[in-house]
Amino acid sequence: MITKHSHACVYVTDQDRARAFYTDKLGMEVRDDVRMGTFRWLSVAPKTQPDACIVLMLVGAGPMLSEEQAGQLRALLEAGVLGAGVLETDDCRRDYDELKAKGVQFAREPKEMPYGIEALMRDDSGNFYSLTQRR
């Protein structure tokens, strides 16, 4: 029985910038930040969620991704067509105001939906997230 989803992978175009975005702007904390040669294992998570993290993987060629594929992935990111998931909040409108004031880009402002209040935001690489206050 699978009991939990613990690691989600989000491709980013610059890990230093992504680390700053997810911590300084979104208020998450760094869980791992270690390097092995050119590979950097960088993960972040909301401070109140100890058992799950977002792995911020750099888009780059390697054993599993050719230069061409990495280029295609980078192009998709830059086009802003990759969705990264849902970030839950206890107050979507307040977070929207606070994050917008910090320069976070939103594709849609908070909107009443049957399942809660939801806004659509982008990270610094172009990944978009639902910022959702469930009900």
Partner 1 sequence: MPSSRATLRRLIRARDVLHASVQRGATLDELARASGLSRGFLARSFSRTFGVPPHQYLVQLRLEHAKRALARGLSVTEACLEVGFESLGSFSASFHRRVGVSPRSWQRQARGLVQSLGVPALYIPACFLARYVGHV
Residues that bind partner 1 (CB under 8 A): 7, 9, 32, 34-39, 41, 47-48, 50-51, 55, 57, 62-65, 90-91
Q: Which residue has the tokens 């972040």?
A: 44
Rounded Cα–Cα distance for residues 113 and 110 (Å): 9
Rounded Cα–Cα distance for residues 42 and 33 (Å): 4
Give the shortest CB-32-to-partner 1 separation in angstroms: 6
Q: Quick one: 69 or 107, whose CB is closer to partner 1?
A: 69
The closest of 65, 45, 67 to 56, measured between CA atoms, is 45
Give the shortest CB-1-to-partner 1 separation in angstroms: 18
Q: Quick one: 51 or 68, whose CB is closer to partner 1?
A: 51
Rounded Cα–Cα distance for residues 28 and 21 (Å): 9
Q: Quick one: 29 or 122, whose CB is closer to partner 1?
A: 29
Give the shortest CB-37-to-partner 1 separation in angstroms: 8
Give the shortest CB-85-to-partner 1 separation in angstroms: 17
Phi-psi region of 116 (alpha: psi -120 to 50; beta: other; left: phi over 0): left
